[in-house]
Chain A
Amino acid sequence: MSKIEILVIGRHPEILETVVRLVNTNAEWNAIGAGTDEEAIALFDTLDFKLVLLGGGIEKQSEEILCAAFKAKNPDIIIVQHYGGGSGLLAAEIHEALC
């Protein structure tokens, strides 16, 4: 069974790396991280992402640009804010988004 592809975007490299690693501990999920808008938009075309997690530090203007770009390519994409920056809320956020 193929994994659910999740794009994680965040400005803080170590937090981004942590979140991606944590998501990938779930055998059903595959997370890829992007630190810049350009990287995120380019990556979005490479896989059939079901979910985008927006991490910390993303400016409001960037958030609007990213959401518009993703929705234009896939109107059904789920975009959620990841709060906390670590493992505490991550699984619940993803479960809530995917159900």
Chain B
Amino acid sequence: MANTILHKAETRGHANHGWLNSYHSFSFGSYYNPERMNFGALRVLNDDTVDAGMGFGKHPHDNMEIISIPLEGDLEHKDSMNNVAVIKNGDIQAMSAGTGIYHSEYNNDRDKRVKFLQIWVYPDKKNVEPRYDQITLNLEDRHNKLQQILSPNAGDEGVWIHQNAWFHLGKFDKGVNTEYALKAKGNGVYVFVLSGDVKVNDQLLHTRDGFGIWDTDQFTITADTDAEFLLMEVPMVV
């Protein structure tokens, strides 16, 4: 029988720095909750809103797979590998920090906020060569079906990272359902509802709720309303 854990949206950690309003699904920065450290290899899920023209100045990372998904607005990315890029709503960015990189992420707009998800996944290999990738997704590919946006495989759909993980986005009309079959034994899936109401098996979830499910081969996801959601399949043992 599947094991599950529910993280209601309002139970997330919260940090408001003025220019940055951030909700943390797992312990991050000054938010420390020993009950909310990670979901398997999924270590950080931050729901960030950044004011117009503001952002994260140059700062370092190492040994982490860092994924950014703009939900509204655009981000300007720069890094120590000389990548300069704008990540738009509809894009996904993946960075393998490996032996160490610096990067900055700024709201590319001067007159509106940017909302994005910042997701960190433990790598399955330490000290890899740092790398950066960014792709534009076809929004239609997630309408009433699951769109793979991330995998462990360079030749597969979406971006790839150094971890046995698969991410999917879905934008479902009310009443639409699908089965999700896990791709690797020992993995679990963290469901994050971006908008609307969905049911995972019998569990009803609302906007920005998180729900982890593991020790199962598959589950059903049903849109109770028009809904958008992110499925993050990751190894449960890090």
Interface residues, chain A, with chain B CB atoms under 8 Å away: 10-12, 14-15, 18, 55-60, 81, 83-89, 91-92, 95-96, 99
How many whole Å from A52's CB to the nearest CB in chain B? 16
How many whole Å from B32's CB to the nearest CB in chain A? 5
- What separation, in Å, do the CA atoms of A10 and B100 have in the docked complex? 10
Residue of A nearest to B60 (CB): A15
Within 8 A of A (CB), among B87-107: 97-100, 102
Within 8 A of A (CB), among B156-186: none
Extra contacts, 14 of them, besides A86-B60, A91-B32 (Cβ < 8 A), are A10-B62, A11-B99, A12-B100, A18-B60, A58-B127, A81-B126, A83-B43, A84-B64, A85-B100, A87-B29, A89-B43, A92-B27, A92-B28, A95-B34
21 A-B pairs whose Cβ atoms sit less than 8 Å apart in the complex = A11-B99, A12-B62, A15-B100, A56-B100, A56-B126, A56-B127, A57-B100, A59-B127, A81-B126, A83-B63, A83-B64, A85-B62, A86-B59, A86-B60, A88-B29, A89-B27, A89-B28, A91-B29, A92-B28, A96-B34, A99-B34
Contacts of B63 in A (CB 8 A): 56, 81, 83-85
Q: Given A56-B127, A59-B127, A96-B34, are A84 and B62 also a contact pair (CB < 8 Å)?
A: yes
Interface residues, chain B, with chain A CB atoms under 8 Å away: 27-30, 32, 34, 37, 43-44, 59-64, 97-100, 102, 120, 122, 126-127
**Pairwise interchain contact A12-B28, C-beta atoms closer than 8 A:** no
Q: Give the number of A-B contacts (CB < 8 Å).
A: 77
- What separation, in Å, do the CA atoms of A47 and B43 have in the docked complex? 32
**Pairwise interchain contact A57-B122, C-beta atoms closer than 8 A:** no
Instruction: Return the contact of B122 from the options A10, A55, A56, A83 (Cβ within 8 A).
Output: A83
How many whole Å from A46's CB to the nearest CB in chain B? 26
**Pairwise interchain contact A92-B37, C-beta atoms closer than 8 A:** yes
Contacts of A60 in B (CB 8 A): 126
- What separation, in Å, do the CA atoms of A96 and B27 have in the docked complex? 11
**Pairwise interchain contact A18-B59, C-beta atoms closer than 8 A:** yes
**Pairwise interchain contact A12-B32, C-beta atoms closer than 8 A:** no
**Pairwise interchain contact A57-B43, C-beta atoms closer than 8 A:** no
**Pairwise interchain contact B99-A57, C-beta atoms closer than 8 A:** yes
- What separation, in Å, do the CA atoms of A28 and B203 have in the docked complex? 42
How many whole Å from B153's CB to the nearest CB in chain A? 23
Residue of A nearest to B63 (CB): A56
Residue of B nearest to A90 (CB): B29
- What separation, in Å, do the CA atoms of A57 and B128 have in the docked complex? 9
Interface centre among A10, A15, A59 (most CB of B within 10 A): A15
- What separation, in Å, do the CA atoms of A44 and B63 have in the docked complex? 24
**Pairwise interchain contact B28-A57, C-beta atoms closer than 8 A:** no
**Pairwise interchain contact A12-B60, C-beta atoms closer than 8 A:** yes
